[in-house]
Amino acid sequence: MFKEIDAQNLDEILEQMVLWKNTFSHSPEYQAMTEFEQDESAAVILGLGEYMYRFQGLRPNEWDSEALENCCLEDFPTWMVAEPIFFESLSGVLTSFFDYLEREKHLSQAEKLKQTVLNCREQILIRSQDPAHWSQEKFFVLAAAFEGHDLDNPEQMNNFVQSYEEQFQVFSHL
């Protein structure tokens, strides 16, 4: 679940992740990724920085295998609302990113982190597609999207929420 976070620390972490993402995007590791992985890389990298801090309470230099495994198998599938391609690209992006961080000597534990991602590659996909691993918030948003509501349209989302609440009230009286 969410850890107590300091907004300034999160901003600093995200700034670091943006810097790494920008230099990574010019690296041979980035060039070796698929087009889909390249397209998803910014969301994956920034999501990693945010989720490792928000849910695991760790800055990049504190990341360890156990926390990364929790992030990949619990936090991303539970909270990240994204197209399936995001989860299909996650392990490829992270392994390339950790290769880059190791080569550039940005993270001493990068090789261990890469191995962690490789070890849980299949489970990432399985859990991301299983609604039993989704938070109520994620399930709600995906239900609205599935019904064709424009998630960026406040009026449509308000109508969806009202409809949901009305249905809940009917069922609560049964």
Question: Which residue in 57, 119, 45, 27 sits closest to 86, CA to CA?
Answer: 45
> Rounded to whole angstroms, how far apart are CA atoms 45 and 97?
8
> Rounded to whole angstroms, how far apart are CA atoms 20 and 41?
11
Q: Report the phi/psi class of residue 6: left, alpha or beta, with left for phi > 0 and alpha for psi in -120 to 50.
A: beta
Largest CA-CA distance found in the chain, in angstroms, rounded: 62
Q: Is 80 helix (H, G, I), strand (E, B) or coil?
A: coil
> Rounded to whole angstroms, how far apart are CA atoms 123 and 138?
19
Tens of pLDDT along the chain (174 residues) come to 555 778 999 999 999 999 999 999 999 999 999 999 999 999 999 999 999 999 999 999 999 999 999 999 999 999 999 989 999 999 999 999 999 999 999 999 999 999 999 999 999 999 999 999 998 888 888 888 888 888 888 888 888 778 777 776 655 555
**Do 29 and 99 contact (CB within 8 A), yes or no?**
yes
Boundaries of every domain in the chain: 7-130, 135-174
Q: At what angle do helices 35-54 and 84-103 cross, to 10 degrees?
A: 80
- Number of neighbours of residue 118 by Cβ within 10 angstroms: 12
| Long-range contacts at 108-111 (CB < 8 A, ≥ 24 apart) | 109/63, 109/64, 109/65
Q: Cα–Cα–Cα angle for 25, 9, 1, nearest 5°?
A: 95
C-alpha 164: how far from chain center:
27
